[in-house]
Amino acid sequence: MRLAEVARGVRWYVRGVMGEDAYDKYLEHARGQHEGAQVMTEREFWRDRTDRQDANPEGRCC
Amino acid sequence: MSNTSTSAHTEDPKHPPVAVDPDIIEANDRRWTPLKIAVWVVIALLGGLSWVMLAVVRGETVNAIWFVFAAVCTYFIGYRFYSKYIEKHLLKPDDRRATPAEYKADGKDFAATDRRVLYGHHFAAIAGAGPLVGPVLAAQMGYLPGTIWIIVGVVLAGAVQDYLVMFFSMRRGGRSLGQMARDELGRVGGTAAIVATLTIMVIIVAILALVVVNALAESPWGVFSVSMTIPIALFMGCYLRFFRPGKVTEVSIIGFVLLLAAIIGGGAVADTEWGVALFTIDKVPLAIGIIVYGFIAAILPVWLLLAPRDYLSTFMKIGTILMLALAIVVVRPEIFAPAVSEFASTGAGPVVSGTLFPFLFVTIACGALSGFHALIASGTTPKLIEKERQTRFIGYGGMLMESFVAIMALVAALSIDRGIYFAMNASAAATGGTIEGAVAFVNGLGLSGVNLTPEMLSQTAADVGEETIVSRTGGAPTLAVGLAHIMQQLIGGSGLMAFWYHFAIMFEALFILTAVDAGTRVARFMLQDTIGNVIPKFKNTSWRVGAWIATAIMVAAWGAILLMGVTDPLGGINTLFPLFGIANQLLAAIALAVCMAIIAKRGYFRFLWIVALPLAFAAVVTISASFLKIFSPVPAIGYFAQNAAFRQALADGETSFGTAPTVEAMNAVVRNTLVQGVLSILFVTLAIIVIVTAVLATIRAARRGSNESSEDPFVESRIFAPAGLVATPPEKELQAQWDALPTPPKRGGHG
C-alpha cells in the first residue's frame, strides 16, 4: 500500500518533469472552457505543441 | 484562523482564501521552536566546520565531502535567510494576485504547474555544459578560489539574478529579458541589450561547439557514440509523431537504452580496424561536420530532432547529476591540489591565462552567476508558475542546485592527479601533443608534488579507451576522466572506467548539441526580426527562404569562430574561453541592470543594494577583464598585444614565432587576435551602454521619487498552493480547507 503510493508519486513526478502530462493539463483546461469549443485530440495536441515550438524557439542553457 | 484575511480585495466567498495571511506567515517564520533552533545551529556549525577544513586546515589532502557540506550548508542558510530577506523587502510577492499561468491560462504555454515539478523543469532548462566546464578550467588556480566563488557567488549574485528576473517577468505576463530591457531602459539601452544578447549567443554557441570538437577529435569511440545520438533522436521523434504521441517517458527510456548501447558499441567499434579508420576524425573536418549539422538541425522541424533530444538530455542530466552526487558522498575522494596555486597570482596558468582577479570570475561563469539564465528565467518558466511566492523556491532554489553541479564538477576535476590535469588541459601548442612533450612541459612548470611520468599518461589513456589524453582541452575530457575515476569506485571498478568516460563525454555532447541547435534557432529569429526592420518580408518567420538565409548567417557567424578556435596556433580554448565567460557575465550584468531599473522605478531605494552589489561586481569583473583583453601589454593576455607581437615578427621576416611554426600560422594568429579583440570591444561597449542607461533610469526614478510600474494589472487569484518544497503548518491548514471543497477548483482559467 505504502509502496504503491510511492510508486504513484514517482510516476507523477517523472511525468511532470518530462512534460508528459501536458495533454492532461490541456484537457483539464479545455473542459473548463465554453461548451462546444474545439478540443484537440492527443495526436493533434502534440503536433500543435512541436509546431508552436518551431515558431517560438526557446534557448537552452550553456 | 486563516479565514480572517486582511485582504484589501474582496475575497470570493465561494472558496477558501487563496493566500495565507501575511501576518500568519510572519508569525510562523518568527516562531523559533527549540527543534528549529537546534536544526539551524547544526547546519551553521557543520557549514562553518567544513569551511574551516577547506580554508584553514592545511593537510596533504582534503576530503571531497567537505566541499559538499560547505556548499549544502551555505545554500540552506542563504536560502532560508537571504532569499527570504529579498522576498520580504524587495519583491513582496502577493499570493492573492493571479500569476500569468492563471489569468492567461491556455492549457499550453500558460499552464499552472506544480511547484516541485516546475523546479525540476526549470533546473533542467538552466543546467547545461557551462557549470561542468568552467570549474574544471578554473581548477588550475587551486581548489579554494573556485569553491568560494561558486558558493558565495551563487548566494549573493547568481541566485539573486535568477530570482529577480523570474519574478519581474512573471509580473509582466512572462515578458522576455529583451522586452523588459526595452520597456525599462528606452530605445538605446533596449537595442544595445538585444544586440548584445544576439552576439553573446553566437560566441557561446561557437565555444560550446569547440568544447565538443576538442572532446571528440581523434577519438573514434566518442565520434561513433555521439553521432549515434542523431539516428536515435530521429527514431524517437518519429516514434512520438506517428506511433505513440505523448509517450515521452517511454520513448526517453527506449532512447536511453539505445544510448547506452551506442556507448558500449562505440568501444567495440573503436577496437576494429575499420572503426578506427572510419571514425578517427581530425579537428577541422569535425568542426565542419558540426557546422553542417548545426545548419540542418536548425532548419529541420522541432519534432524530428530537437524535441526528442531535449527529452533525452533532460533524462540524462537529472539522472547523471543524482548519480554523481551519490558517488561523491559514498566514495568521498581525496583532493591533492593545493588550496591556492601559484597561477592565481602569476597569471601564467597554461589552461587559461590571467590572474585570479578578474579571470577566475569569468572562467567560472555558470554555476556562480550565469547571464544566460536570465533568458530562461524570463520566458518559459514564469508562464508556468502557480503562485507568486513560489518564485523563491523555483528561481533562487533552482540556481542553488546548479551551483551544486558546479561544485561536483570542480571536485571531479580536482580528484584526478594534478600532473595528468595539466597534461590534458595545456594546449597542444605547449605540449606538442605528444606524451614526451606533455611530460616535459608539465614537469617543467615546477609545481610542488607534481611528478608526471609517461606511463601515467599512457595508462590513463588506455583506462578510458582513448588513443591519447594529451592536450584534450575544453574541460569536457578532464571532467569525464574525473567522473570515470569516481564512478568506477562506486560501480564496476577500473574495468568500467572507459564506459564511464564515454558516458560523460556523451552526456556533455548531448547538452551541447541541443544548445547549438536551439541557440541557432533563437538567434535566427532575433536576426530575422532585426533584418525585418529594413526588409519587411524577413519579419515573417515562416517564410522558408528568409529562414534559411537567416539560419545560414547565424551558422556562418558561430562556425567562423569555431574554425578559428580549432585552427588557432595558440591553442584555442585558452584564447577563446575568456570571451565565453566575459560574454556570459556581461549578459548577467545586463540582466541585473534591467532589474535595478525596475526596482528603482518601484521606489524601493533602501534595498537597491541587493541588486546593485552583484551588478557592481559583475560590471567590475567583466569590464576589467575586457579591458585587460583589449589593453594588456602582456601578449598571453591582451589580444592586441599578441597581435602586435606577431605582426612585428612577420615584419622582421621571422618564419616562426612563439607557438606558431610557420608564416601561415603567424598570419592566422594575427587574424584571430584581431577578431577576438574586436569582439571584446563590441561586448564591453554594448554592456557599458546598457549599464549606463540603467543607472540613468535609476537616477531619474530617484529624482522623481516615482512609484511607476510596468507590471500587468492586478487580477484576483482563485487558486491556492503552498510556496516552498514542504508546506508550512498554516499552508497545510489552508490546503485542508481547499481539499474539503466538494468540487476541486480549476487550475487556472477565468473563462
How do residues B440-462 score in pLDDT, each as one tens digit? 999 999 998 899 999 999 999 99
Distance of CA B456 to the CA centre of its chain: 32
Quote the mean pLDDT of chain B: 93
Q: Please indicate whether, in this complex, the C-beta atoms of A13 and B204 are within 8 angstroms of each other.
A: no
**pLDDT at B282 > cutoff 90:** yes
Residues B361 and B519: beta-carbon distance below 8 Å:
no
Nearest to A62 among B114, B130, B248 (CB): B130
Comparing CB atoms, the residue among B241, B315, B376 nearest residue A59 is B376
Cross-chain Cβ contact B746/A32 below 8 Å: yes
Q: What is the pTM of this model?
A: 0.95
Shortest distance between the Cα of A43 and any Cα of chain B, in A, equals 6
Q: What is the C-alpha separation between B344 and B149, in angstroms, rounded?
A: 14
Beta-carbon pairs below 8 A across chains A and B: 142
Instruction: For cell 484575511, name the residue.
Output: B5
Q: What is the mean pLDDT of residues B71-92?
A: 97
User: Is A6 near chain B, with CB under 8 Å?
Assistant: no
B515 and A62 within 8 Å at the Cβ level: the answer is yes
Distance CA B208, CA B430 (A): 22
In angstroms, what separates the C-alpha of A2 from chain B's closest C-alpha? 20
Name the residue facing A33 among B310, B315, B751 (closest C-beta).
Answer: B751
Alpha-carbon distances of B512 from B127, B130, B520, B738, rounded to whole Å: 11, 9, 12, 44
Predicted pLDDT at B52? 97
B10 Cβ contact list (under 8 Å, min separation 6): none
Residues of B in contact with A22 (CB under 8 A): 108, 111, 246
pLDDT score for A1: 66
pLDDT at B92: 95
Give Dmax over CA atoms of chain A in angstroms: 46
DSSP state of B371: T
CB B15 within 8 A of CB B744: no
The H or E element containing residue B62 is strand B62-63
- Chain B residues with CB-CB distance to A20 below 8 A: 246-249
CB B364 within 8 A of CB B406: yes
The minimal CB distance from B108 to the residues A20, A33, A52 is found for: A52
Do B67 and B147 contact (CB within 8 A), yes or no?
yes
Distances (CA, A) of B610 to B89, B134, B392, B665, B699: 10, 26, 15, 48, 16
Q: Pick the range with the lowest mean pLDDT from B282-291, B335-344, B741-750.
A: B741-750
B625-677 pLDDT tens trace: 999 999 999 999 999 999 999 999 999 999 999 889 899 999 999 999 999 99
Partner-chain contact B366 A62, CB within 8 Å: yes
Q: What are phi and psi of B349, to 5 degrees?
A: -60, 140
Indicate the residue of B318, B525, B748 with minimum beta-carbon distance to A29.
B748
Is A51 an interface residue toward B (CB < 8 Å)? yes
User: How far, in whole angstroms, is CA B428 from its chain's centroid?
Assistant: 27
Q: Is A55 on the interface with B (CB under 8 A)?
A: yes
The predicted pLDDT at position B4 comes to 39
- Is the Cβ–Cβ distance between B405 and B127 less than 8 Å? yes
Q: Is the pLDDT of residue B495 over 80?
A: yes
Q: Give me the pLDDT at residue B365, please.
A: 83
Please tell me whether the peptide bond between B633 and the residue prior to it is cis, using omega within 30 degrees of 0: no
- A7 touches B: beta carbon within 8 Å: no
| Residue A36 sits at the chain B interface (C-beta within 8 Å) | no
Least Cα separation, residue A29 to chain B (angstroms): 5
Give the span between the Cα atoms of B279 and B140, in whole angstroms: 32
CA distance B493 to B497: 7
CB contact (8 A) between residue A62 and residue B584: yes
Residue B603 has pLDDT above 90, yes or no: no
Question: Do the chains contact at A16 and B113, CB–CB below 8 Å?
Answer: yes
Chain A's closest residue to B583, CA to CA, is: A62
With cut-offs at 50, 70 and 90, classify the pLDDT of residue B499: very high
Residue positions counted in chain B: 751
Tell me how crowded residue B291 is: count the other CB atoms within 10 A of its CB. 20
Nearest by CB to A60, which of B105, B515, B748? B515
3-state secondary structure B647-696: HHHHHCCCCCECCECCHHHHHHHHHHHHHHHHHHHHHHHHHHHHHHHHHH
Nearest to A50 among B247, B302, B379 (CB): B302
Query: Nearest-CA distance from B521 to chain A in Å?
Result: 6
Residue B604, all three cell numbers: 524601493
Report the pLDDT averaged over residues B375-399: 95
CB-based burial label for B231 (10 Å; 0-12, 13-18, 19+):
exposed
Q: Supply the mean pLDDT for chain A.
A: 89
- Non-local CB neighbours of B439 within 8 Å, separated by 6+ positions: B423, B452, B453, B454, B457
Identify the residue with better confidence: A60 or B259. Answer: B259
Q: Which residues of chain B does A19 touch, with a Cβ-Cβ cutoff of 8 Å?
A: 121, 248, 311
Query: What is the reported pLDDT for B587?
Result: 93
Q: Quote the minimal CA–CA distance from A12 to chain B in Å.
A: 9
Q: How far apart are CA B350 and CA B440, in angstroms?
A: 14
Strand partners, B657: B660
Residue A9 contacts B where some CB pair is shorter than 8 Å: no
Q: CB of A10 within 8 Å of any CB in chain B?
A: no
* β strands within B288-432, DSSP E: 334-335
